[in-house]
């Protein structure tokens, strides 16, 4: 079992290991003063792991209540946000009680935002059940819901008090969902860790605990330095500028992980073609993505992608900060004026054979 301390405004441990879901209650006990635990889950995670979570927290002395949302991105809504706040109030949770978020990014983001708002903030525990949530969204305190104008437009930086990742859950994910998370794993390798790249090649399933731990350590280091996303944290967005455009242009039919994979390959090819990184970076990025059945390009034109990227409501004034590979296991931030973004998207568009 790995225990990684995250030193943000609220310090907490990320605990990673096989079969550790049963230890959830005992790990929560010293952190939570109250006796009620609201488990927020979706229909899938509730039916697969709800009983194990209830058993563990009950045997540690907590009373449990449960709120279940339908699985899928549509549940990350303002309506569910309000409904869950009302549910917590009706069940008389206090600021000493806690929320357990049992699920992937949708459950984690929504629960975290609820936790940040209810009674101006109550403790919450992340139990990620997807690889993407385990290595990315459950760590670092970004919480959000979607508005009709776009994704993640309302939210808060609000850290959990514990994150428990049972690698047995992640190992047993459907291949497609596992692959989505692998895109973010490849991202960590590309931005900061030759070790992650090597571990993936040695076998993602065989080395899963070490891979997740390594990614969490990288994320921990970045968010400890830039918790509120004013600089360095943007490094975690490698491939994400084209990816957000791809997701949007596909009407969100293309999943985040698959869009990130295509986005990273576009950025790696562009960097190599423009002489900004070592030779071989693009080929390795493509090879790693292909190994998990992830796409390495997209059908959308560079012009259409730029248009979406430029309309991104979260974009700063006077250009976009892109994450550009430099060498193996190292990427850098590069502020690009609006007029140059097309060069990157066009130069990286063409897939290598």
How many chain residues bind ligand GLY (CB under 6 A)? 6
**Residue among 116, 343, 190 nearest 198 (CA):** 190
- Other C-beta atoms closer than 10 Å to the C-beta of 353 total 4
122 vs 216, which CB is nearer to ligand GLY?
216
Output phi, psi for 337, to 5 deg.
-65, 155
In the stretch 130-159, what mask flags binding to ligand GLY with x, by CB under 6 A? ------x---x-x-----------------
236 vs 306, which CB is nearer to ligand GLY?
236
Query: Would you say 25 and 100 are in contact if contact means Cβ atoms under 8 Å apart?
Result: no
**Residue among 283, 246, 264, 242 nearest 325 (CA):** 264
- Contacts by 147-152 with C-beta closer than 8 Å and gap 24+? 147/78, 149/313, 150/313, 151/73, 151/76, 152/109
**Rule CB under 6 A: is residue 112 a binding residue for ligand GLY?**
no
- Other C-beta atoms closer than 10 Å to the C-beta of 231 total 11
Closest approach, Cβ 183 to ligand GLY, in A, equals: 12
- Distance, in Å, from the CA atom of 88 to the CA atom of 203, rounded to the nearest integer, reads 43
Closest approach, Cβ 262 to ligand GLY, in A, equals: 17
Question: Quick one: which H or E segment has residue 283?
Answer: helix 281-291
Closest approach, Cβ 342 to ligand GLY, in A, equals: 25
- Other C-beta atoms closer than 10 Å to the C-beta of 147 total 14
Beta bridge partners of 155: 144
In the stretch 39-78, what mask flags binding to ligand GLY with x, by CB under 6 A? ----------------------------------------
Q: What part of residues 234-273 is at the interface with ligand GLY (CB under 6 A)? A: 236
- Distance, in Å, from the CA atom of 78 to the CA atom of 350, rounded to the nearest integer, reads 39
233 vs 326, which CB is nearer to ligand GLY?
233
**Segment interacting with ligand GLY, rule: CB under 6 A, options 72-80, 111-119, 229-237, 314-322:** 229-237
| The only residue of 10, 71, 195, 233 in contact with ligand GLY, by rule CB under 6 A | 233
Closest approach, Cβ 152 to ligand GLY, in A, equals: 10
Which residues sit at the interface with ligand GLY, rule CB under 6 A?
136, 140, 142, 229, 233, 236
């Amino acid at each position: 079992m790995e225990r990684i301390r995250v030193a943000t405004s609220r310090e907490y441990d990320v605990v990673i290991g096989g079969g550790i879901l049963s230890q959830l209650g005992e790990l929560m006990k010293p952190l939570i003063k109250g006796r009620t635990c609201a488990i927020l889950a979706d229909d899938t995670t509730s039916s697969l792991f709800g009983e194990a979570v209830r058993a563990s927290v009950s045997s540690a002395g907590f009373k449990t209540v449960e709120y279940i949302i339908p699985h899928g991105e549509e549940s990350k809504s303002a309506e569910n946000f309000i409904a869950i706040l009302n549910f917590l109030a009706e069940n008389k949770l206090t600021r000493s009680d806690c929320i357990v978020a049992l699920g992937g990014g949708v459950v984690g983001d929504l629960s975290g935002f609820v936790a940040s708002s209810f009674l101006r903030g109550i403790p919450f525990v992340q139990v990620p059940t997807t690889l993407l949530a385990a290595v990315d969204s459950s760590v670092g305190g970004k919480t959000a819901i979607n508005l009709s104008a776009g994704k993640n437009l309302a939210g808060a930086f609000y850290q959990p008090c514990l994150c428990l990742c049972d690698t047995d859950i992640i190992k047993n994910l459907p291949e497609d969902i596992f692959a989505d998370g692998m895109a973010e794993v490849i991202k960590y390798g590309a931005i900061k860790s030759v070790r992650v790249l090597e571990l993936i090649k040695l076998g993602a399933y065989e080395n899963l605990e070490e891979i997740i731990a390594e990614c969490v350590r990288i994320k921990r280091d970045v968010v400890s330095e830039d918790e509120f996303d004013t600089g360095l944290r943007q490094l975690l967005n490698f491939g994400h500028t084209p990816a957000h455009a791809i997701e949007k242009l596909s009407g969100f039919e293309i999943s985040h992980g698959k869009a990130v994979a295509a986005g990273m390959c576009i950025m790696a090819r562009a960097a190599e073609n423009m002489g900004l990184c070592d030779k071989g970076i693009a080929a390795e990025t493509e090879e790693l993505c292909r190994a998990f059945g992830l796409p390495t390009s997209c059908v959308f034109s560079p012009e259409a992608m730029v248009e979406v990227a430029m309309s991104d409501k979260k974009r700063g004034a006077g250009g976009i900060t892109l994450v550009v590979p430099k060498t193996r296991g190292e990427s850098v931030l590069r502020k690009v004026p609006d007029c140059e973004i097309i060069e990157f998207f066009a130069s990286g568009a063409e897939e290598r054979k």
